[in-house]
């Protein structure tokens, strides 16, 4: 938006010596000393944390307004207001009086000059840090970012994602998808969108909620995010450009309230699928698919039109059988799917931990069996029998007609009651290797034994009591090691920790033909 308060609020010199030392993205709040989401006031150059940390930047603005209430209006207008601040990571500008991001500048271009100065400080700090690390490595000094695995020293190459304000639901899904190798590699190998011509060539675009640019590409921003996650950077990547595109094309996810990670994953995959169908960066969908020779025609499952990498990787087919209990008429329907949503059987819903003694532990097999078992439809779901020519009582059963390359299993932990949405906090035991899906197939004899076995690639976990609150993290395997992704923090973990997690979404990858298997 066009902010009218810049002239009275932007008062600091672009090369002000009042700025703290070090890189702007790691500056600390002057009140709580947190280095998460630092914002610099463009009136006095003081640094405070954002509203989704401890909110000291907003409090700085509010405190500056209190002495002004006793002054005359003319005096109030002449005095600097401390209303405008800049994000030290994304360099976007925000006005607290307008309560929105700012796209304009002062007549002297001070905002852009401050932005460029902060970028220079960041680049200088990065270069100095790189030289320091190189010197330490050359001198064989102790490097705290190196880990010892199986007797050899190796570095953590995983990169965290900044939380932009309750965006942990997005971060957990992105980190999970980035560790599904075939899916991730496909996007990273796509051609990049060409830089703009003219005055904006090579210049970073600062997106805000008020911009009307409809020429956005979810595929391109998704590609850039995936490329950034495994480059070995120790600084968390900020996915604000991707989040901006999400706001543009998925209105349900606008704002900074907590969202459902599963719902976001389905919207994300659906929109990637639709955009790839329409072509990307001037390249037709068919040409893009041909680039990846591993995606053969036999592995494609069409959902809402032609096949793309989304359906080739995640797409499976269900057979839905409905039988009339009066005349015995059978109806069959084939439904494509990208994931399976599984109920946690009611007899296990009070079992909250693996070691709790009251009854058996719920397993993933129990959830799959509940999904595929024969079920009698209740009075609200009567089947319209074409032979009886009226609605009749009936039974329903699901079979899996075709398994996907990546089997995504969603455990239905949130259920609506009369007044609120409750969480089922039951622990569900799941295997790390050898999930055998053969017994759920419609024609198991047509599938080889290895094509029915799946190994775990990633797990999304919801911590907390409700869908509108709490926190999402993810566990994922990369090159034989398990990592825990908690927004900007990435830590190495072990299999024992992973299997104790209360899974919300599980990503299983089809096992390639090889000797040996551990079945569920």
pLDDT digits (tens, 9 = 90+) for 413-456: 987 766 666 888 899 999 999 999 988 887 766 665 557 899 99
Beta-bridged to residue 391, according to DSSP, are 384
pTM of the model: 0.65
pLDDT digits (tens, 9 = 90+) for 109-119: 888 888 888 87
For range 94-105, the mean pLDDT: 84
370 or 255, which is more confident: 370
Nearest-10 Cα torsion for 393, 397, 401, 406: 130
Residue 66 pLDDT more than 70? no
Q: Which among 168, 324, 367, 385 is annotated as catalytic?
A: 168
Q: Using 50, 70 and 90 to split pLDDT, how confident is the model at 367?
A: very high
Average pLDDT of 189-212?
47
Whether 377 and 398 have beta carbons less than 8 Å apart is answered as no
Q: Is 168 a catalytic residue?
A: yes
What is the model's pLDDT at position 286?
A: 42
Where do we find the tokens 């329903």?
396
* Owner of token pair 């907390």: 464
pLDDT at 202 over 60: no
DSSP string, 363-404: EHHHHHHHHHS-EE--GGG-EEETTTTEEE-EEEEEEEEE--
Percent of the chain with pLDDT strictly greater than 90: 29
C-beta neighbour count of 346 within 10 angstroms: 10
Tell me which of 5, 415, 471, 478 is the catalytic residue: 471
Residue 246 has pLDDT above 60, yes or no: yes
């Amino acid at each position: 938006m066009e902010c009218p308060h810049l002239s009275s609020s932007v008062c600091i010199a672009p090369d002000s010596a009042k700025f703290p030392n070090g890189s702007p993205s790691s500056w600390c709040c002057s009140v709580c000393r947190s280095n998460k989401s630092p914002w610099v006031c463009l009136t006095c150059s003081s640094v405070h944390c954002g509203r989704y940390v401890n909110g000291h930047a907003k409090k700085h603005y509010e405190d500056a307004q209190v002495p002004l209430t006793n002054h005359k209006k003319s005096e109030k207008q002449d005095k600097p207001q401390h209303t405008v601040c800049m994000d030290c990571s994304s360099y976007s500008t925000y006005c607290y009086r307008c309560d929105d991001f700012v796209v304009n500048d002062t007549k002297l271009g001070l905002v852009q000059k401050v932005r460029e100065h902060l970028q220079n400080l960041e680049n200088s700090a990065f270069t100095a840090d790189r030289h320091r690390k190189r010197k330490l490595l050359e001198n064989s000094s102790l490097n705290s970012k190196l880990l010892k695995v199986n007797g050899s020293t190796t570095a953590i190459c995983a990169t965290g994602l900044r939380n932009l304000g309750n965006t942990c639901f997005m971060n957990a899904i992105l980190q999970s998808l980035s560790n599904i190798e075939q899916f991730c590699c496909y996007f990273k190998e796509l051609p990049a969108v060409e830089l703009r011509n003219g005055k904006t060539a090579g210049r970073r675009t600062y997106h805000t909620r008020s911009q009307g640019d409809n020429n956005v590409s979810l595929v391109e921003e998704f590609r850039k995010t995936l490329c950034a996650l495994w480059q070995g950077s120790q600084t968390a990547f900020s996915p604000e450009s991707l989040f901006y595109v999400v706001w543009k094309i998925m209105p349900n996810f606008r704002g900074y309230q907590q969202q459902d990670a599963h719902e976001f994953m389905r919207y994300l995959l659906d929109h990637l699928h639709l955009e790839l169908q329409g072509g990307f960066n001037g390249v037709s969908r068919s040409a893009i698919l041909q680039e990846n020779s591993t995606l053969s025609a036999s592995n494609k499952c069409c959902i809402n039109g032609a096949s793309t990498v989304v359906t080739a990787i995640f797409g499976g087919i269900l057979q839905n059988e409905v039988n009339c209990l009066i005349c015995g008429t059978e109806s069959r329907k084939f439904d494509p799917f990208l994931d399976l949503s599984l109920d946690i059987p009611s007899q296990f819903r009070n079992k909250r931990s693996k070691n709790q003694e009251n009854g058996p532990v719920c397993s993933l097999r129990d959830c799959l069996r509940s999904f595929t078992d024969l079920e009698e439809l209740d009075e609200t779901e009567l089947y319209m029998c074409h032979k009886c020519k009226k609605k009749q009582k009936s039974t329903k059963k699901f079979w899996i007609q075709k398994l996907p390359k990546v089997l995504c299993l969603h455990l239905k932990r949130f259920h609506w009651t009369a007044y609120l949405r409750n969480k089922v906090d039951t622990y569900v035991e799941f295997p790390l290797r050898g999930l055998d899906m053969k017994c759920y197939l419609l024609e198991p004899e047509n599938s080889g034994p290895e094509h029915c076995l799946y190994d775990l690639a990633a797990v999304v976990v919801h911590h907390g009591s409700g869908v509108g609150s709490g926190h999402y993290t993810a566990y994922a395997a990369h090159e034989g090691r398990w990592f825990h992704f908690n927004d900007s923090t990435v830590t190495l973990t072990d299999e024992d920790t992973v299997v104790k997690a209360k899974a919300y979404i599980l990503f299983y990858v089809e096992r390639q033909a090889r000797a040996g298997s551990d079945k569920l």
